[in-house]
Structures are given as structure tokens and as C-alpha cells.
Amino acid sequence: MSGDSPAWVNLHELADAAGPKLSAQAAAYFNGGAGDEHTLAANPADWQRLHLWPRTLAPLDGSHTRTMIGPNAVAHPIWLAPVAYQQLAHPEGEVATAMAAAAQSAGMVLSSQSSVAVEDVANAMRTVADPAGDVAPLWFQLYWQPDRALTLNLIQRAEAAGCSALVLTVDAPVHGVRDCERRAGFSLPAGVRAVHLPHGVAQASTLAPLLQAAPTWHDLNWLREHTRLPIWLKGVLHPADAALARTAGMDGLIVSNHGGRTLDTCVSTAWALPRVADAVQGELPLLVDGGIRRGTDVLKAVALGAQGVLIGRPQVHALACGGALGVARMIRLLRDELAVAMALCGCSDLRHANRDLLA
Ligand SMILES: Cc1cc2nc3c(=O)[nH]c(=O)nc-3n(C[C@H](O)[C@H](O)[C@H](O)COP(=O)(O)O)c2cc1C
Ligand SMILES: CC(C)CC(=O)C(=O)O
């Protein structure tokens, strides 16, 4: 931001503003998708394609964005998705993001490939008090590790640091085919590493070890036995998997295609969400992510059955542009846009939003 007028007034402009702040390698890593990037493009396009159907003259006195996400009463439904290696965007990395989340009462899901330790991120969130006293939960995203002892170590660190849920990512048993990363020759620069992992990097160079390590439904029993935290699965798109997750006693689902970074040409999340919602029939709470860039997108996601949304790339764009203040501003912009969209649709309480809001 410079001068009197901000350099960006919405999340699309934010992506452009971040361009000059990022190295070519970091930009390729953050912005890219899998394959020909059809799913990357379909995610935002399919939110845009949905049409809101406004209602008029509805009472709006007392409107608010408060809602529930799982057992958490939250000030608004906009959370930060797990995004790895945030020190590629800003030297303070995930600490700055966490301070912004706490200041804006936004939940944060910390990547297990974080470039800052979970203990430091949790402390940073605690140092920033929300004046209204609203909570900003910190959840820990888990990538299943080849070694159970290491998986257990991650779980125990997250618990001890005060994380209030685990998010097991299930849509990336292998790294997607990412031409942009290969073209840019992406590798982590000196000083940035996955601090929770002994070798500091996520991926093995051949498929076999990854596939051996990939978790199955059976492993969820082990996970359940080894944590007292609620477990959410991230990366569910198929109603049949949603039903299996319910049977497996999971606590919530994140409808996600990993921001179009794993399987190209797979379904968009706006397409999958109502189908997953129909499968779980309100018995499992849902979050959704992928291409959510406007308050209208957030309202559509809630209308289709999600309790809230996660924001991926814009958080690292905002971090690159303005550190913690940039991320805080990004969350605030989206929340204000959501409030406007709600008012114009005659919706005073997100808990009453449903498919009647959509044409
Ligand atoms: C640079 C980058 C790194 C990511 N790292 C992780 C990760 O470590 N764990 C994970 O579960 N998802 C990861 N994701 C996926 C996000 O959590 C989220 O699903 C996706 O970014 C949402 O789409 P959006 O970027 O269009 O908002 C990453 C996404 C990006 C863009
Ligand atoms: C280190 C990666 C596996 C993190 C990730 O999930 C991603 O880049 O999409």
C-alpha cells in the first residue's frame, strides 16, 4: 500500500499487486495449478456462474456475520487455509499471518509444511487480542508421514501448542503434475524449510515411497485413537467419500480440490459442495475452499451448505504486499463484502442462508 489510496481494493487486484513482490520461483509455487490448470480456472469461474437471487424489504436490523464452525462460535465464516512455506512471501511468514488472523477473528489452519513452528504461531495468535473478545481458532493441518512416530510427534506438538482441531489432508497422496513449478525450477531457497519435518522438505522424489505412506480409511482408526482433538478431512469431493467419512466418525469435512493443484480437470468445489452437503444431510459440518475471492462467493458457499470458507492464495499475496497488515486487510475486505452481499440478499443471519438465495 502506498499514498492515500490503497494499491488494491479487492482480492483480484491483490494477486496483481503481489506479483512484483515475489520471486519468479515463489510466484510459480504459490500461483500455479496442476496440469493445464483447468480446475484452477474452474474454481473461481463456477462461483461466479452461480447467481444470487436477491430478496427485498427484509428486516436487516441486527444483521451480523456471526456463525458456528463445528463447535466454535465465530465472528464470521472466513478462515485461512493451510498454505505451506509462507516465508517465501514474507520473512515473518506464518507468524504474521497468525497475528492477522487473530486481529480479524479469523480461524487459521496451519500447514504441517509451515516455515514457522506451530508453537511460535500459537504464541503469535495469543499476543493479539481481539477487542471484541472473539476467538480465532488455530487448527493444525496434517500430512500423513511415512513414519508413524513422526505423525504422532506432529499431533502431539499441535495438541501441546493449543491447536483445537486436526485437519488431515487426503487429496494429495502424491504431488500433482505442476508444470509451472518445474518450468521455474522451483526449490526452497536457503533459510526456508518445513520446520516440523526432519529433512525440511515435503516430497520424496519417486512415487513409490509416497504411495506406501499414503493413508487409507483404515488409518483413521489409528488417528482417532491417538488424538483427543476433533478430526476434519480436507480434500473430499465425492458424496460416497463423505458418507465413508461419516461412518468413520470424522468431525467435519473440507470440500476442496487443493486449489486446483493436485488433479487437473477434477470437479470444481462449487459443483461438489451441494452434492457433498446432500450426502451428509447436516450431520457433518462442512467447510469449502478453492477460488473464493468475493463476499458473494462466501455467501454462495454458505447457501450451498458450508458453514464457512477457507482462503488460500490471497493470504500469501496479502502477506507479500503488506505483512500482517496486508493479511488483516484482506480478511476485512472479504468480510465487509460478505456483509454487503447479505444485506442485498435480505439475509440478516448466515445460519438461515440456504439454496433459496440462489437462482
Ligand atoms: C502455495 C500453496 C500451498 C499450499 N499448501 C498446502 C498445505 O500445506 N496443506 C494443505 O492441505 N493444502 C495446501 N494448499 C491448499 C490450500 O489449503 C487450499 O486448499 C487452496 O489454496 C484453496 O484454493 P485458493 O488458493 O483458490 O483459495 C496450498 C495451496 C497453495 C496455493
Ligand atoms: C509442500 C506441499 C506438499 C504443500 C502443498 O500442499 C502444496 O504445495 O499444495
pLDDT at 224: 97
How far is it, in rounded angstroms, from Cα 298 to Cα 308? 7
Residue pair 346/58 in contact (Cβ under 8 Å)? The answer is: yes
- Grid coordinates of 328: 488483516
For residue 350, the one-letter residue type is: L
Q: Is 297 in the pocket of ligand 1 (CB under 6 A)?
A: no
Which ligand 1 atom is at minimum distance from the Cα of 171? 11
Which ligand 2 atom is at minimum distance from the Cα of 176? 9
Q: How far is the CA of 84 from the centre of ligand 2 (A)?
A: 6
- Grid coordinates of 207: 512415487
* Averaged pLDDT of the chain: 95
DSSP 112: T
Q: Identify each DSSP E strand in the chain by its residue range.
A: 67-69, 72-74, 78-80, 108-110, 138-142, 166-169, 231-236, 252-255, 286-289, 308-311
Residue pair 99/336 in contact (Cβ under 8 Å)? The answer is: no
Q: What is the pTM of this model?
A: 0.97
Q: How far is the CA of 33 from the centre of ligand 2 (A)?
A: 11
Query: Between 3.20.20.70, 2.40.30.10, 3.40.640.10, 3.40.50.150, what CATH number should domain 11-51+64-196+215-357 receive?
Result: 3.20.20.70
- For 180, the 3-state DSSP assignment is helix
From atom 5 of ligand 1, which residue's Cα is the shortest distance away?
Answer: 83
Tally Cβ neighbours within 10 Å of residue 146.
12
Q: Tell me the ligand closest to 294's alpha carbon.
A: 1
- For 81, the 3-state DSSP assignment is coil
- For 84, the 3-state DSSP assignment is coil
Q: Is 94 in the pocket of ligand 1 (CB under 6 A)?
A: no
> 324: closest CA among 166, 140, 144, 101?
101
How far is it, in rounded angstroms, from Cα 17 to Cα 193? 25
- Grid coordinates of 278: 446432500
DSSP 349: B
Q: How far is the CA of 80 from the centre of ligand 1 (A)?
A: 10
pLDDT tens, residue by residue, 296-331? 999 999 999 999 999 999 999 999 999 999 999 999
From atom 3 of ligand 1, which residue's Cα is the shortest distance away?
Answer: 83
Annotated domain spans of the chain: 11-51+64-196+215-357
Residue pair 99/329 in contact (Cβ under 8 Å)? The answer is: no
Residues with C-beta less than 6 Å from any ligand 2 atom? 84, 113, 172, 202, 258, 261
Residues 6+ apart with CB under 8 A from 71: 230
Q: Is 290 in the pocket of ligand 1 (CB under 6 A)?
A: yes
Q: Taking the CA atoms of the chain, what radius of gyration do you get in angstroms?
A: 19
Q: Tell me the ligand closest to 46's alpha carbon.
A: 1
Q: How far is CA 173 from CA 168, 197, 199, in A?
A: 11, 17, 19
pLDDT at 5: 64
Q: Is 81 in the pocket of ligand 1 (CB under 6 A)?
A: yes
From atom 7 of ligand 2, which residue's Cα is the shortest distance away?
Answer: 84
- Grid coordinates of 175: 504431488
Q: How far is the CA of 135 from the centre of ligand 1 (A)?
A: 23
pLDDT at 2: 47
DSSP 19: G
- Grid coordinates of 134: 472473539
DSSP 317: H
Tally Cβ neighbours within 10 Å of residue 123.
14
pLDDT tens, residue by residue, 223-243? 999 999 999 999 999 999 999
Residues annotated as catalytic (active site), given as ranges: 258
pLDDT at 319: 98
pLDDT reading at 167 higher than 80:
yes
Which ligand 2 atom is at minimum distance from the Cα of 29? 8
Phi, psi at 167, each rounded to 5°: -120, 105
pLDDT tens, residue by residue, 90-149? 999 999 999 999 999 999 999 999 999 999 999 999 999 766 778 899 999 999 998 899
- For 5, the 3-state DSSP assignment is coil
For residue 130, the one-letter residue type is: D
